Structure 1
Amino acid sequence: MSRICILGGGFGGLYTALELSRQPWPEPPQITLVDRQERFVFAPLLYELLTGEMEDWEVAPRFQNLLSPESVQFVQGSVTAIDPKARRVTLGEGQSLDYDGLVLALGGETPLDRVPGAAEYAFPFRTLADAQRLRTHLKHLEAREPAQPIRLAIAGAGASGVELACKLADRLGSRGQIRLIELGSHILSGFAESSRGAAQQALQERGIQVELRTQVLRIEAVDEKRKNDLALHVRRIDSEAMASDPVDAVLWTVGTQMSGVIRALDLPKTEQGRLQVFPTLQIPSFPTVFALGDVAAVVDADGQSVPATAQAAFQQASYCAWNLWAALTQERPLLPFRYWSLGEMLSLGVDTAVLSALGGFTLTGPLGYLARRAAYLVRMPTLEHQLKVGWNWISRPLWEGLLPR
């Protein structure tokens, strides 16, 4: 019986596990999925938790509810070491897992050590715990008496920063004073002009202050007894002048770094620390070790560099599962990964979004919101979860309409 170990339960890891369990194995393998958290996070919908548009269980279902223990065993634990030569994974709890096939899908982490004070005071936004922590802090700020403006600064104007800014502006309304700070010369670098234009309009309509070519220098507490009263020090790239502005919270969406266990691996990596892989997603010199998602630098069969996005990881999972099955059974040839860009989707506030598809087709506003929701619903990991979430989306407005105001 083959033993397969999958490290990381994000889009790449979880969907690979599900696809592997459906392959025509001569003998069912022992598939083990390892993740630090007990829940899978559908990251593109994490923003909806801040506005109450979705509930925690919809965005972050438990792995135990998504996986059949007969086909995939889930182990909650932290990976501390990987030995490709010995084919062994060590967990922080002292447990070790031997494998015949390995999938590295540990994802990235938000680097908070590049700016003084960020680790102590900034809010990252990547996990369910991050969303819950920020939600709790917002409730604290909203409950202050007398009511005061809520001053938020968001570092990074990529997709995460823009979506956060719009959602928070809609939640806070007239009390929100939101700054979006970007080191580059424009927001949403790498996105289509249609997406960028819709985002710029959404930011402007919500009164969000966009500060381009601006560097965050440090974050510090004005008063150690009042952790939410912060001083944010920034500098314009084209000016020597520096500014220090008071804020109630700093949200950090800048950058991605590999986990310590990936950095410690003696395997070929890019300058950014991502693992180099063949188009089949195999690690060089280890034909039954595969990597995908944020940790892998993938150049597909057509020679294009694959972006580190949820869309790419979702597509890679099918190839990874097939190729690992083919490598272990030797019944079929391995397939080089081919990436198909299906367009871009951004949430731009409550009940509004932009969807830019191939061929220049764009939907914005409520229609974009509905299209985005439908696209994500069909990508949720299991049919059972799709049905539960879909029914909740239909029934919740009906129940809320019947409740007395």
Structure 2
Amino acid sequence: MRVAIFGAGYAGLGVARRLERSLPDDVELIVVDESGEHVVRHLLHRGIRYPDELAHIRLPLGLVLERATIREARVEALDHTAGVATLTDGETLSYDFGVVTLGGDPEFFGLEDVAEYATPLHRPADVDTIRDDFEAVLADGGRVVVGGGGLTGIQTAGELAALARERDASETVAVTLVEQADAVPPGFDDRLQDAVGDALESAGVECHTSTTITGATDDAVTVADGDPIRYDQFVWAGGIRGPAAQDGDRPTVPATLRLGPNAFALGDAADVVDADGTRVPPTAHAAIRQAGVAATNVARVVEHRLAPGGFEPRLERYNDDEMGWLVSVGDDAVARVGPTILSGAPANAVKTTVGAGYLTSIGAVEDAVAHVQDAVAHESARDVTPQ
């Protein structure tokens, strides 16, 4: 019997590491991933200012998986009924159970000109492109427009503004965050939005809320009910859609995360409805926690399939427990821990702890130590007063 996991992000890696321990030895476990590495995406924005840190958040799967067979390939299509995945160059892979954790792709909402002119922050290569383009803006002056005021957009704008300040270019470089909702990040409580708004203002980021981007040219974004906003660099963080292998869809799955008799789906690749009937936002925290539920359920279904008879196994149900939120804003951060809103040094400490804790949890202990050391070094450098 073969269990195939498609994608090795937060959800996929979490499922794979658990199934390595829980599946019978004679069940083959295979992980299919386009890049062959696990990327800690909630720290990806750090590479804009600190490119060396990318090395600590890009982890070869061979270092964090022990038993699973790793197949480096792009998934083009999935047929769970037939148990066949179509991979790069038309190759196929058969499987008995599939776990879809392919993540999401950038959503441009049909704005083809935005897709043409903007760079999304989605993969490590995008970080290199954003940083290289920003170097030209730093040299010549100009404006960067970041489309989308969710967590990714806020963190990207904060890093760009901080880098401009470090290069003494704050007077010649403008960073503008554009969001169609009336506050950033949208959908959060007022206290958190107020704290994030204050942090963005202190960082020097201009926020244009209640502003909907409707298109783009090579030097301006067009907006509803307003004049075009000229730019020298355009970064997009406007949301996600389902992966190409699912034609951009994010199928709805119940709290058991079961997509069908032979498949489970979770993380950004699915629209998860939890045990309370609430649709779960596509976040790293949710994907990490869903992985535990999915792995338990896959193991139970496999065990039942190997030894049929009796009732169908009882499946665990995912319940979203929003333990808190964390967003970086350049050198600052804002965190909600329970009912408490933190900013400044306490929030930065939470940020470092969360990053190191996740790296440790997936077995990347040396990278976790390096992450902490980098954070301490950057904080110390900011505390040094020029003579």
Task: Name the structure 1 match of 2:89.
Answer: 93
Task: Name the structure 1 match of 2:256.
Answer: 280
Among candidates 185, 203, 206, match of residue 203 of structure 2: 206
- Measure, in 1, the Cα distance between the counterparts of 2:353 and 2:252: 34
Task: Name the structure 2 match of 1:259.
Answer: 243
Residues 356-376 of structure 1 deviation map (CA, whole Å, 9 limit, x = unaligned): 022x12221011111111022
Aligned pairs for 1:76-91 within 5 A:
76-91=72-87
- Measure, in 2, the Cα distance between the counterparts of 1:28 and 1:18: 16
| Distance change >3 Å, CA 194–CA 109, structure 1 → 2 | same
- With structure 1 as the length reference, what TM-score do the two structures score? 0.85
DSSP 3-state at the match of 2:316: coil
Among candidates 335, 338, 349, match of residue 370 of structure 1: 349
Among candidates 339, 349, 373, match of residue 394 of structure 1: 373
* Alpha-carbon distance, 1:95 to partner: 2.5
- Measure, in 2, the Cα distance between the counterparts of 1:365 and 1:243: 35
Kept in 2: contact 1:13–1:105 (CA 8 A): yes
Q: RMSD in angstroms over aligned alpha carbons?
A: 2.3
| Distance change >3 Å, CA 220–CA 392, structure 1 → 2 | closer
Count of residue correspondences:
369
- Measure, in 1, the Cα distance between the counterparts of 2:111 and 2:92: 36
* Alpha-carbon distance, 1:231 to partner: 2.5
Residues 221-280 of structure 1 deviation map (CA, whole Å, 9 limit, x = unaligned): 2xxxxxxxx1232233xxxxx42343111111112211232138xxxxxxxx32122321
Task: Name the structure 1 match of 2:187.
Answer: 190
Residues 137-159 of structure 1 deviation map (CA, whole Å, 9 limit, x = unaligned): 222333x3xxx323101111111
Q: In the alignment, residue 43 of structure 2 is paired with which amino acid?
A: L
Among candidates 313, 318, 325, match of residue 344 of structure 1: 325
| Distance change >3 Å, CA 383–CA 304, structure 1 → 2 | closer
- With structure 2 as the length reference, what TM-score do the two structures score? 0.88
Q: In the alignment, residue 258 of structure 2 is paired with which amino acid?
A: Q
Aligned pairs for 1:1-400 within 5 A:
2-23=1-22, 25-52=23-50, 55-68=53-66, 71-112=67-108, 114-142=110-138, 144=139, 148-173=140-165, 174=170, 175-221=172-218, 230-236=219-225, 242-263=226-247, 273-283=249-259, 286-330=260-304, 333-350=314-331, 352-358=332-338, 360-380=339-359, 382=361, 384-391=363-370, 393-394=372-373
DSSP 3-state at the match of 2:193: helix
| Distance change >3 Å, CA 395–CA 156, structure 1 → 2 | closer
| Distance change >3 Å, CA 116–CA 384, structure 1 → 2 | closer
| Distance change >3 Å, CA 308–CA 183, structure 1 → 2 | same
Q: In the alignment, residue 333 of structure 2 is paired with which amino acid?
A: A
Kept in 2: contact 1:195–1:344 (CA 8 A): no
Kept in 2: contact 1:288–1:328 (CA 8 A): no
Report % sequence identity. 26
* Alpha-carbon distance, 1:170 to partner: 0.7
Kept in 1: contact 2:108–2:239 (CA 8 A): no
Which structure shows the higher helix fraction? 2
| Distance change >3 Å, CA 133–CA 395, structure 1 → 2 | closer
Kept in 2: contact 1:192–1:356 (CA 8 A): no
DSSP 3-state at the match of 2:176: strand
Task: Name the structure 2 match of 1:227.
Answer: none
Q: Unpaired runs of 5+ in structure 2?
A: 308-312, 382-386
* Alpha-carbon distance, 1:39 to partner: 2.3
Which shows bigger deviation, 387-396 or 244-253? 387-396
- Measure, in 1, the Cα distance between the counterparts of 2:375 and 2:284: 27
DSSP 3-state at the match of 1:80: strand
Kept in 1: contact 2:252–2:273 (CA 8 A): no
- Measure, in 1, the Cα distance between the counterparts of 2:16 and 2:71: 13
Residues 150-176 of structure 1 deviation map (CA, whole Å, 9 limit, x = unaligned): 310111111111111111111112142
- Measure, in 2, the Cα distance between the counterparts of 1:84 and 1:356: 40
